[in-house]
Amino acid sequence: MHGVGKMVLRRLAQLIPVMIIATFVVFALVFLMPGDPAVTLAGEFATEARINEIRALYGFDQPFWVQYGHWLWNALHFDLGRSLFSNEEVSRLISMRLPHTLLLVFYALFLGAITGIPLGILAATRQGTRLDKAITSLASLGVAVPNFWLGIILVSALALDWRLFPATGAVSIFEDPLGAIYYATLPALALSTNVTAVLTRQVRSALLEVLSSQFIRTLRAKGLRPAAVLWRHGLRNVAATMLTIAGLQFNLLFSSAVIVESVFAVPGVGSLISYSALNKDFPVVQGVALVLVVLVIFVNLLVDVLNSILDPRVAAST
Amino acid sequence: MTDATVTTPVPAGPARFSVWRWMRSDMRAALALTYLIILVLGAVLAPFLAPYSPTDQNIMNMLADPSGEHWLGTDDLGRDTLSRLMYGAGNALYASGLAVGIAVLIGVPVGVFIGFVGGWIDEAVSRVIDAILAFPPIVLAVAITGALGIGLTNAMLAVGFAFAPYLARTMRAQTLVVKSALYVDAAVGFGASRFHLIRKHILPNAIQPVIVEVTLLLAVALLAEAGLSFLSLGVQAPEASWGGMLARAYSYIEIAPTQMYAPGFAILFTALAFNALGESIRVLLDPTVKKI
């Protein structure tokens, strides 16, 4: 446990500069706008008073670093400003919408895991057979298919034709957990293909590597049943791979959710950021980007910690 | 050209590279390359080959099913779907090329530089790379596009920026590997300059995995363009894009359910082709890796 503790401390120390740079990127987005950002943000028919109000709101009249410091200080206190359109607090908007997105992301990870891991094991244990080829082809399809198109097909087939699932919308998980899962099923399914495909490939190749290693050969020579070799020794060594992929996919699922949420009219942070970007509602865009990047950084830390608990060699090597 | 390389007996030693031999050894890659060549030709020659103008509206013939007149039917404004698909191919290829080009232009030099100099510069820039990698790529691209202004070129600049750290990371790792190789030590012993080292030794030997990654990124960029255009953050109406076509098809899905297939398959096949080519290049450059 000592190694793990030290490793967590070291990772936390690395995390602070990454965090600061990430917040800086989010803050600096406003300065990519052509022309005077205050004028752009105020919109076409803004009065001089409105422009000045926005200038004061962002502190555009102050030096750059003062602006950044001010913004960061507020963000640390969960004050992300107000929407330029609805005037709602950005932190409130995000806290209302984030649960919908998180449900989709975790649901998709779950669906990807329960399909990808067995498929990967099946392909690895039947290496070279027709089944193996079929599974690897399916995985190639899974990385290339546009998630939002798959979503449209799912709506067309399972919602409109067969009426098995609702086509669009979402239910709050806090009010009606079962209903929320029911509504989230199609979007999560549309999101999960990439997770399934990547897990299938990686589990397959990691397992093939483990199964061909010396210690497995020794175990077999000692007369251990093949099933015991696979379950007790093979998969244990593949667990770290699965965790690492789950961490990476967590990031990419937010990416896909931005588009898939629009297909299913899910009121999550993904549809919020795309809608706000179209309308130049910048405090909202920045708020969502900030919250998601912080989430991803912490999940990556969690994955590293879990990995080092699973495999002490990881903790020693980083 | 290909005939000559096939019939010429190959002398012992490193075999000369032949596209023909490569394609014959990998049917999937051959299929992918053929498809991509047809796609590029279709996109370039769209003004001559397309049966209709992509913006010609025919209000008398909206959301028509495929027929002899309109092979793939028409959209909600009576525009020919096949013609829009062909013009959309141009935008899709331009978008993927631009995004990946930007990623290469930023990522490769940065990766080589920090891998080569090391020290605190490497440490600092690596943290910047970590920070940008922590953003979900589409989230970052949407945010940057919102700031720069909506449109295909801005959206793809944003996607390219979001991809750059992936290439920088690979390039840095490769540079570190090559830098410690014996022949680089030898070159240093002979008094080679830094510039010479990077140009003659590091770049050619470190670039291989990046070539593979670049091909695979083309597929990711294509999917990103389709997604952003679907959200109307990319290609703007009335210009044709596969993602935009899907958005319109989705709005009329209950009246004309067949309209969603052509653009979707176009995206899927193109992404599959880029991926197949990338995997094939991986095997080609390093025959020791197993095919996945």
Q: Identify the three-state secondary structure at position B240.
A: coil
pLDDT at residue B288, as a whole number: 65
pLDDT in tens, A98-128: 999 999 999 999 999 999 999 999 999 898 8
Between CA B271 and CA B154 the distance in angstroms is 22
Asked if residue B165 lies in contact with residue B137, where contact means CB atoms within 8 angstroms, the answer is: no
Closest chain B residue to the Cα of A289, Cα to Cα: B139
- Look at residues A192, A197, A183, A201 and name the one whose alpha carbon lies nearest to residue A238: A201
For residue A176, pLDDT beyond 50:
yes
Minimal CA separation from A207 to chain B, in Å: 13
Residue A242 pLDDT class (50, 70, 90 cuts): confident
CB contact B137 to A (< 8 Å): yes
- CB environment A35-74: b (16+ within 10 A), e (fewer): eebbebbbeeebeeebbeebbeebebeeeeeebbeebeee
Among A60-74, A261-275, B127-141, whose mean pLDDT is lowest?
A: A60-74
Q: Does B272 contact A at CB distance below 8 Å?
A: yes
Q: Span B123-132, mean pLDDT?
A: 94
pLDDT score for A306? 87
Alpha carbon of B203: minimum distance to chain A alpha carbons (Å): 28
A294: Cβ contacts below 8 Å, ≥ 6 apart: A19, A22
Q: How far is CA A80 from CA A99, B65, B139, B141, in A?
A: 18, 49, 17, 20
- Alpha-carbon distance of A98 to A100, in angstroms, equals 5
pLDDT at A52 over 60: yes
User: pLDDT for B168-218, tens place per residue?
Assistant: 999 999 999 888 887 888 888 887 888 888 888 888 888 888 999 999 999
The model's pLDDT over A203-219, given as tens digits with 9 standing for 90+, comes to 998 888 888 887 788 88
In chain A, pLDDT over 90 holds for what percent of residues? 47
- Pairwise CA distance, residues B185 & A165, whole Å: 64
Higher pLDDT, A9 or A286: A286
Q: Report whether pLDDT(A59) > 50.
A: yes
> Is A43's pLDDT higher than 80?
no
The residue assigned the tokens 């098995």 is A164
Tokens of A5: 């503790």
pLDDT digits (tens, 9 = 90+) for B50-61: 888 888 788 777
Give the pLDDT score at B102: 97
Beta-carbon neighbour count of residue B195 at 10 Å? 8
Q: How far is CA B84 from CA A266, B63, B91, B97, B179, in A?
A: 29, 14, 11, 20, 49
Query: Is the predicted pLDDT of residue A233 greater than 90, yes or no?
Result: no
Quote the ipTM score.
0.91
Report in angstroms the alpha-carbon separations of A51 from B24, B33, B37, B146, B281: 64, 53, 51, 19, 54
The residue type of A85 is F
d(CA B180, CA B200): 15
- Find the range with the poorest average confidence among A129-143, A221-235, B225-239, B250-264: A221-235
Judged against a pLDDT cut of 90, whether residue B238 lies above it is answered with no
Contact A149 B246 (CB under 8 A): yes
pLDDT digits (tens, 9 = 90+) for A179-198: 999 999 999 999 999 999 99
Model-level pTM? 0.90
* pLDDT for the residue A317: 58
The whole-angstrom distance between A232's CA and the closest CA on chain B is 25
Residue B230: closest CA among chain A residues belongs to which residue? A259
Q: Express each pLDDT in B76-94 by its tens digit.
A: 888 888 999 999 999 999 9
B-chain residues near A22 (CB < 8 A): 131-132, 134-135
Task: Judge whether A302 is closer than 8 Å to chain B, CB to CB.
Answer: no
* Chain B contact present for A160, CB below 8 A: yes
CB of B140 within 8 A of CB of B132?
yes
Q: List phi, psi (to 5°) of B176.
A: -60, -40
Work out the pLDDT band at A53, boundaries 50, 70, 90: confident
Q: Which of A198, A197, A183, A175 is nearest to A104 (CA)?
A: A183
- As a whole number, mean pLDDT of residues B127-141 equals 95
- Please indicate whether, in this complex, the C-beta atoms of B134 and A251 are within 8 angstroms of each other: yes
Q: How confident is the model at residue A91 (pLDDT cuts 50, 70, 90)?
A: very high
Residue B14: asked if its preceding bond is cis (omega within 30°), the reply is no
- pLDDT given at position B14: 52
At residue B11, does pLDDT exceed 50? no
B-proximal residues of A, 29-48, CB under 8 Å = 29-30, 32-34
Band (B15; pLDDT cuts 50, 70, 90):
low
Residue B25: per-residue pLDDT: 81
